């Protein structure tokens, strides 16, 4: 099998993250909704332009499994408006690392402006992006991700068009959003819950317990082995295979590329749905993060 080095886009810091990023204070906007254009990158990440401290223009990845703002070292080397106040030890997906922190920044995204933003520095984000931010900046707002129009729309209330969408319940825990989906292998069904993770560019990454219990590595075709890097450059190894059938609500996908860490029980604690699958739907997430409304997009092929 070929081996290659790739990034888990945005970093899987949800495993043992110790830092709590401060989301800042939203000082505008007050209109009923606001539309923010984005670019869907070749790596299935959502890239959005932002302005830091009214000076530095950045491309930030909208990361549904991140709760704060982070910038990568390669980007911070060229910034003129940020001051690093202290460092701290953090635990990420692959190990322990030192990370610098900057307080009291301002951030502008579209018509929205925040003050008192805390920023952490790490190694990796989605290719072509300078860092990432998460849904917590839009706390208590309805989020609409329209992949057909390449826009992120922030609503005060659910739009009427949700009647055209399928409604699925969400579990919202520690700022992470999970939905139920089902894998089908050799005629057997395996329901599981999955973290909605737009920072991961692939389709599905299974948790270790699921892989062990389903014996997935012995029952699907293995196509590749890879080395993945988390946000701080730590390397772990994974396998890729082809899952015969996968169901999200009423939508059925066949021969989906999946990843897993066979033999590394305990490292990967959550299963993940990434950008390659998420882009196949236009998504609306309610303000309480209790429901997600999905409708097949034009990328659903």
103-153 pLDDT tens trace? 999 999 999 999 999 999 988 899 999 999 999 999 999 999 999 999 999
In the chain, the number of structural domains is 2
The partner residues of 173 in beta bridges, in order of sequence, read 176
Same-domain check for residues 137 and 173:
no
Torsion of CA 233, 237, 241, 246, to 10 degrees: -60
Same domain, 215 and 279: yes
Q: Do 250 and 125 reside in the same domain of the chain? A: no
Other Cβ atoms closer than 10 A to 136: 15
Average pLDDT, the chain: 85
**pLDDT one-digit tens code per residue, 236-274:** 677 899 999 999 999 999 999 999 986 655 578 899 999
105 assigned to some structural domain: yes
CA–CA distance, 156 with 30 (Å, rounded to integer) = 9
The answer as to whether 198 is a domain residue is yes
Domain boundary among 141, 174, 200: 141
Q: Which helix (H) or strand (E) holds 25?
A: strand 25-28
Same domain (yes/no): 134, 21: yes
Name the residue range of residue 272's domain. 162-296
- 233 near 240, Cβ under 8 Å? no
Is 233 part of a structural domain of the chain? yes
Asked whether residue 39 is assigned to any structural domain, the reply reads yes
- pLDDT tens string 190-215: 999 999 999 999 999 999 999 988 99
């Amino acid at each position: 099998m070929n081996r290659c080095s790739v990034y888990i886009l945005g970093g899987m810091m949800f495993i043992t993250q110790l830092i709590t990023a401060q989301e800042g204070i939203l000082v505008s906007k007050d209109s009923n909704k606001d539309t923010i254009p984005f670019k869907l990158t070749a790596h299935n990440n959502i890239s959005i332009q932002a302005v830091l401290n009214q000076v530095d223009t950045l491309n930030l990845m909208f990361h549904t499994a991140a709760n704060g703002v982070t910038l990568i070292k390669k980007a911070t080397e060229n910034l003129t408006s940020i001051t690093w106040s202290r460092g701290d030890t953090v635990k990420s997906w692959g190990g322990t690392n030192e990370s610098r922190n900057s307080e009291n920044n301002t951030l502008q995204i579209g018509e929205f402006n925040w003050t008192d933003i805390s920023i952490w520095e790490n190694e990796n984000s989605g290719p072509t992006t300078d860092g990432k931010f998460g849904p917590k900046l839009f706390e208590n707002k309805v989020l609409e991700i329209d992949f057909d129009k390449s826009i992120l729309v922030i609503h005060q209330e659910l739009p009427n068009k949700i009647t055209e969408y399928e409604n699925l319940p969400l579990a919202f825990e520690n700022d992470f959003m999970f939905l139920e989906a089902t894998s089908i292998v050799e005629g057997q069904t395996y329901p599981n819950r999955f973290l909605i993770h737009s920072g991961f560019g692939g389709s599905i990454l299974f948790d270790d317990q699921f892989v062990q219990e389903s014996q997935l590595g012995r029952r699907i075709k293995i196509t590749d082995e890879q080395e993945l890097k988390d946000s701080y450059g730590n390397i772990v190894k994974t396998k890729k295979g082809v899952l015969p059938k996968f169901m999200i609500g009423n939508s059925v996908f066949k021969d989906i590329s999946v990843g897993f860490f066979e033999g590394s029980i305990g490292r990967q604690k959550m299963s993940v749905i990434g950008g390659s699958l998420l882009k196949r739907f236009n998504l609306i997430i309610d303000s309480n993060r209790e429901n997600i409304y999905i409708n097949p997009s034009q990328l659903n092929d």
